[in-house]
Structure 1
Amino acid sequence: MKPLQDVRIIAVEQYGAGPFGSVHLADLGAEVIKIEDPRVGGDVGRYVPPYAEGEDSLFFEAFNRNKSSLSLDLATPAGRAVFEDLVKVGDAVYSNLRGDVPAKIGITYDDLKHLNPRIVCCSLTGFGMTGPRQQEPGYDYVLQALAGWMDLTGDPDGPPTKSGLSMVDYSGGFVAAISLLAGIHAARRDGVGMDCDVSLYDTAMGLLTYPATWHLNAGFRPVRTRHSAHPSLVPFQAFEAQDGWLVVGCAKEKFWQRLTDVIERPEWADDPRFATFADRDRNRDLLLPLLEEIFAERTVAEWVEPLRAASVPTAPINDVEAALTEPHTIARDLLVETEHPRYGTVRQVASPVRVGAERPTYRRAPLRHEDADRLLGDLLGYDEARVSELTEQGAFGDLP
């Protein structure tokens, strides 16, 4: 069996953060039943450009592989009845909605415990289910601004800068997945479920980590650094070579000593201006221009090869294409393929979550309502008459 093959999750999810969290659980074998609102054509992720046609998009494929889909209108009594039957046979209800919405639509633990006292209700919201921003929509860009990330990112003379990836969304998905699994573990042990109140805001604040600790305890005020330099470890930053950029990092003293040999300045290893972390930090305005001149003398490859041979942390600054063709990417089986009726073979990156020796298998993202027959018939035991009745009562909305 796959690690999570005995876990069933009813996912009232949409867009990026929520689906990103549950896709890794689905990859590990969990049955993720994706509830899609027929009033809006299902998950909005199905329509994200530029690679979208009809109800299919490559964006949706990236976040929803290995899941099942059921088109269900929770605002109708019939749709709610189907949802409640799913709760009875589920382990968790997982959602990513605005903070006040789970209570409004009745998907919190108090709303559902009479159906299944062991149900875990994991809500990934923008700002949490309490607090003054509870009712505000939360998006990655907004959270990067509010939590101080953008103020930390970019060159000193440039504007505040967003990360090139939606890191609050993706980190929030991982946090929600951890919370959900912890809740299920406790519910199976104790026989009682719970709410998991997870938010993008909490995630973004939590990821401030040591700069927050430095500020809270020593008054540290972070500043943006030139060429993405580390705030205290020197050198640990991007350097420009003849034909591109590379990163060189001396996070330990031994790396600095090795670097001085590679750049043919062995005397700097014991130079009192540069010998220790503190010396190099104190004299960074002297040392870094010297290093920049040296790295500009050769190509990226001419530097990366000897630095790697000397076990100095280094890497070329790849573009996305180079990262996807990096030999280590291929060696780690990080590119996977699924077959899709519209797109044919779809290539995407694998989940980084690894459990045991067995490799995950991958199935394309579901078409909307694709799994209705199996879920309604096999799982819930509805006969054709019951399905017809529910359809007439609007449980499934306008079907694709």
Structure 2
Amino acid sequence: MSGGRLPLQGLRVIAVEQYGAGPFGSLHLADLGADVIKIEDPAVGGDVGRFTPPYTTGTQPGTQAGAEDRGPDSLFFQSINRNKRSVVLDVRNPSGREVFERLVANADAVYSNLRGDVPEKLGITYRQLAHVNPRIVCCSLSGFGMSGPRRSQPGYDYLLQGLAGWMSLTGAPDGPPTKSGASLVDFAGGVTAALALLAGVHGARETGIGTDCDVSLYDTAISMLNYLAAWHLTAGHEPARTANSAHPSLVPFQNFRTADSWIVVACPKEKFWRRLVTALGEPEWGADPRFGDFAGRADHREEVLGLVQKALIARTTAEWLPLLEEHGVPCARVNTVPEALAEEHSAARGLVLEVDHPVWGRVRQVATAARVGEPRDRHRRAPALGEDNGAVLTDLCGYTPREQDALRAAGAFGTTEN
């Protein structure tokens, strides 16, 4: 927790979520103080993210649990489910549905990341839940949305990076189409869904009437083509891969070799070009009329890049970066992931946090990026499967122990409840 009230305290989200994109979005809400209650399906052993290798522990699907087994878990699951609560519930079972609707009656939003045709099949759209809570916001994050010819198809980050054209833009010009190293469509889709959910809740609190939010990974990926799409749709431009990850129009703005590694140098403003040539000890390049503005440098791209590269490769990265920074040139080392996490600035911004875990001990992971007021200074590890059934059913739903036993006997929680 934090020393003061977190900005989303008082927001309750019932999350029928799994794997990556959905949980990443609700992680932002949970970190900011929302009560995110994960609904995990007992028929499949809970969120599939619990079984994602390589770092897993506990019971795997189809195996017998041991006496000390806390259930399935993984570092993948821990990284995107902290500060949430877990309830094992079979929402297809009539008794499970009863519990689900009681949760909805006391919530602000139902959040899901399922195929586009599944929310209606599960009965979790606004039309199907408004009788329980007219203010409920039903936010669906799916691969392709709740309408259109692909609505019933599963959608995953790799598929969307290919389908939306991202892979055609990534990698070397003479190499194969390539995905980004991080799951950017999943992560961007999750954040977009969280934004849509908050907008829906704000509207519901103003009007007393909830709504559906139809967010898709496909829409997210296409929308992020942004200026490249505008160039193509308006002027017929066809984006393509560039050497050394070069910007499609600004020169120089790309990776360059030094004597021992790689750096990024960026000149998105004219003043940065003038600073760069001064730092390189070649001020006459700034006076060359061929290189005098964005258009000229783009027209003479190969000459500009050849000159800059020849200069930079003469010294090491450790020599160049202080000199470039001293002259005010935007630049950066091309880090490995371990190097990025060890950056002094990462520590200064509090981007690495720790939680205690009964199996792994100290689990170190990265924080979410949204900052609103003072950040929370304590975090709860991601929950064990069904860890919060008792507390949620008692405190939030009002079920007595005897009523919970009856629900259990009726199959509301399947057979994997902790």
Aligned to 1:362: 379
Which of these residues, 226, 230, 250, is aligned with residue 209 of structure 1? Answer: 226
Aligned to 1:340: 357
Which of these residues, 27, 33, 55, is aligned with residue 51 of structure 1? Answer: 55
Counterpart amino acid of residue 251 in structure 1 = P
Whether the aligned pair in 1 keeps the contact of 2:31 and 2:376 (CA below 8 Å) is no
Q: Does 2:43 correspond to 1:39?
A: yes
**Deviations 1:82-114, CA, capped at 9 Å, x for gaps:** 000000000000000000000011000000000
Partner SS for 2:412: coil
Whether the aligned pair in 2 keeps the contact of 1:27 and 1:360 (CA below 8 Å) is no
**Deviations 1:311-356, CA, capped at 9 Å, x for gaps:** 1110000000100000100111111000011110100001111001
Q: Does 2:158 correspond to 1:154?
A: no
User: 1:289, CA displacement in angstroms?
Assistant: 1.4
Aligned to 1:23: 27
Counterpart amino acid of residue 330 in structure 2 = P
Q: Does 2:260 correspond to 1:243?
A: yes
Identical amino acids, percent of aligned pairs: 60
Whether the aligned pair in 1 keeps the contact of 2:6 and 2:376 (CA below 8 Å) is no
Residue correspondence of structure 1 range 349-388 to structure 2 within 5 A? 349-388=366-405
**Number of residue pairs matched by the alignment:** 400
Counterpart amino acid of residue 224 in structure 1 = R
Whether the aligned pair in 1 keeps the contact of 2:259 and 2:313 (CA below 8 Å) is yes
Aligned to 1:280: 297
Partner SS for 1:329: helix
Partner SS for 1:11: strand
The worse-fitting range, judged by mean Cα deviation, of 366-375 and 356-365 is 356-365
Aligned to 1:233: 250
Which runs of 5 or more residues in structure 2 are unaligned?
Answer: 59-71
User: 1:358, CA displacement in angstroms?
Assistant: 4.1
Counterpart amino acid of residue 30 in structure 1 = A
Tell me the distance in 2 between the aligned counterparts of 1:10 and 1:379: 12
Partner SS for 2:234: helix
Tell me the distance in 2 between the aligned counterparts of 1:350 and 1:224: 32
**Deviations 1:21-46, CA, capped at 9 Å, x for gaps:** 00010000000000000110000000
TM norm structure 2: 0.95
The worse-fitting range, judged by mean Cα deviation, of 360-369 and 255-264 is 360-369
Tell me the distance in 2 between the aligned counterparts of 1:152 and 1:56: 36
Residue correspondence of structure 1 range 286-301 to structure 2 within 5 A? 286-301=303-318
Q: Does 2:84 correspond to 1:67?
A: yes
Counterpart amino acid of residue 53 in structure 1 = T
TM norm structure 1: 0.99
Tell me the distance in 2 between the aligned counterparts of 1:83 and 1:193: 17
Aligned to 2:6: 2
Which of these residues, 12, 15, 22, is aligned with residue 16 of structure 2? Answer: 12
User: 1:360, CA displacement in angstroms?
Assistant: 4.9
Counterpart amino acid of residue 203 in structure 1 = T
**Deviations 1:256-291, CA, capped at 9 Å, x for gaps:** 000011111001111011111111100011111121
Whether the aligned pair in 2 keeps the contact of 1:336 and 1:347 (CA below 8 Å) is yes
Which consecutive aligned stretches of 4+ in structure 1 deviate over 6 angstroms post-superposition?
Answer: none
Tell me the distance in 1 between the aligned counterparts of 2:374 and 2:194: 21
Tell me the distance in 2 between the aligned counterparts of 1:288 and 1:160: 24
Tell me the distance in 2 between the aligned counterparts of 1:359 and 1:242: 43
Partner SS for 1:312: coil
Which runs of 5 or more residues in structure 1 are unaligned?
Answer: none
User: 1:357, CA displacement in angstroms?
Assistant: 2.7
User: 1:359, CA displacement in angstroms?
Assistant: 3.4
Aligned to 2:196: 179
User: 1:301, CA displacement in angstroms?
Assistant: 1.3
Tell me the distance in 2 between the aligned counterparts of 1:326 and 1:123: 37
Whether the aligned pair in 2 keeps the contact of 1:93 and 1:107 (CA below 8 Å) is yes
Aligned to 1:307: 324
The worse-fitting range, judged by mean Cα deviation, of 360-369 and 337-346 is 360-369
Counterpart amino acid of residue 110 in structure 1 = R
User: 1:374, CA displacement in angstroms?
Assistant: 1.1
Counterpart amino acid of residue 236 in structure 1 = F
User: CA-atom RMSD, angstroms?
Assistant: 0.8
Q: Does 2:97 correspond to 1:93?
A: no
Whether the aligned pair in 2 keeps the contact of 1:70 and 1:371 (CA below 8 Å) is yes
